[in-house]
């Protein structure tokens, strides 16, 4: 039987068809065609990661669509589990449930929320995109996080345009024309799938071509000031196709400006304005005041219909063991109630 070359390897046609990622334009299609995710899909993801540790599975979905509006929504969650307590079986459960991206909170969890090579590899190997959120004062830490395997970083709480400009310089390698500033990303060799190291500027840039910068919109200056908002979106679009993304933090925006109808309308307007520029946006759907599954689903529908493509649950990863235990225990208490106990 004739073989097929996949990523430089000769494999059987049947094996080849299972290794190539097929992205159907649906939310279930993004995660391999079924939820829970199948064993064969996990094998394909691990194979793809081994061949290319620098891949960004979220960016693959964005690049495969004709526009942001045609991009299927992708599910994400914030990770607050300390890096020294991360377990691979938990990470696999997140992936099996259909999550596509994981934001590790190195802002509020500080050092314990900053993932190392091992933790990012767990997430990448399961086919999810690890995103490292850092504190608002961070500069060089963004590039360093990508060297450790994060495929994107997140810059919180911006107010001024120069903060975003500095951030994008911090995640971008100098082009070698003498225009680099002290804020540009510093070079440190990254390792390829065969353990070779990138020791030249060209090889390093090629290996890290799929990284992204995610800007958080969680202040009135970034959400309600339409002139500043549009200028920021233009800066993001100038980074290149799908090289930037936005994430709305309604909680912080409301903390600063109050839960006004103007803020709610401003968030929807922001999502639409970003999509028109080819920038995918995300937001948290649900909160302490919206925990009913139907209400959360309605909030998600509103976000998706307005163009939001990164849908984030309001629970954090440390909540998932309880939510799973609660679901497993529920039939027991229902049975006892039916039997008069």
Domain boundaries, the chain: 28-338
pLDDT of residue 323: 93
Can you give the pTM of this predicted structure?
0.92
pLDDT of residue 18: 58
Q: Which pairs count as long-range contacts for 144-147, CB under 8 Å and 24+ apart, including other chains?
A: 144/186, 144/188, 145/106, 145/114, 145/115, 146/171, 146/185, 146/208, 146/211, 147/188, 147/190
Tell me which of 3.20.20.60, 1.10.3720.10, 3.30.499.10, 3.40.309.10 is the CATH number of domain 28-338.
3.20.20.60
User: Taking CA 51 as the corner, what is the angle to CA 125 and CA 31, rounded to the nearest 5 degrees?
Assistant: 45
Of 92, 84, 101, the closest CA to residue 151 belongs to: 101
Answer whether the bond into residue 36 is a cis peptide, omega within 30°: yes
Structure tokens belonging to residue 168: 């994008």
- Parts of the chain with a pLDDT under 70: 1-19, 288-289
What are the backbone dihedrals phi and psi of residue 101, each rounded to the nearest 5 degrees, phi first?
A: -145, 145
Number of H helices, E strands in the chain: 15, 10
Q: What's the full length of the chain, in residues?
A: 341
SS3 16: helix
Burial level of 127, CB count in 10 A (0-12/13-18/19+)? Answer: buried
Beta bridge pairs of residue 101 = 76, 129
Of 99, 150, 78, 79, the closest CA to residue 121 belongs to: 150
pLDDT of residue 6: 54
pLDDT of residue 107: 93
């Amino acid at each position: 039987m004739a073989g097929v070359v996949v990523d430089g390897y000769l494999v059987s046609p049947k094996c080849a068809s299972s290794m190539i990622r097929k992205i159907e334009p649906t939310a279930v299609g993004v995660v391999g065609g079924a939820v829970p995710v199948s064993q064969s899909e996990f094998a394909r993801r691990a194979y793809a990661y081994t061949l290319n540790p620098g891949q960004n599975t979220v960016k693959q979905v964005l690049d495969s669509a004709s526009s942001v509006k045609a991009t299927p929504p992708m599910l994400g969650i914030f990770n607050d589990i300390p890096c020294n307590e991360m377990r691979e079986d938990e990470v696999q459960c997140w992936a099996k449930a259909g999550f596509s991206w994981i934001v590790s909170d190195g802002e509020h969890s500080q050092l314990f929320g900053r993932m190392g090579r091992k933790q990012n590899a767990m997430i990448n190997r399961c086919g999810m995109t690890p995103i490292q959120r850092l504190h608002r004062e961070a500069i060089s830490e963004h590039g360093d996080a990508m060297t450790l395997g994060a495929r994107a970083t997140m810059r919180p709480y911006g107010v001024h345009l120069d903060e975003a400009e500095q951030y994008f310089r911090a995640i971008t390698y100098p082009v070698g024309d003498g225009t680099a500033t002290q804020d540009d990303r510093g070079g440190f060799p990254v390792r390829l799938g065969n353990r070779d190291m990138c020791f030249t500027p060209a090889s390093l840039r090629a290996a890290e071509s799929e990284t992204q910068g995610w800007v958080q919109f969680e202040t009135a200056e970034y959400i309600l000031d339409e002139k500043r908002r549009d200028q920021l979106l233009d800066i993001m679009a100038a980074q290149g196709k799908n090289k930037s993304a936005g994430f709305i933090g309604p909680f912080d925006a409301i903390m600063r400006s109050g839960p006004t109808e103007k803020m709610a309308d401003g968030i929807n307007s922001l999502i639409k304005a970003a999509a028109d520029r080819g920038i995918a946006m995300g937001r948290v759907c649900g909160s302490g005041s919206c925990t009913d599954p139907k209400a959360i689903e309605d909030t998600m529908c509103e976000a998706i219909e307005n163009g939001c493509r990164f849908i984030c649950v309001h629970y954090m990863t440390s909540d998932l063991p309880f939510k799973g235990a609660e679901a497993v225990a529920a039939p027991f208490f229902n049975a006892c109630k039916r039997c008069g106990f």
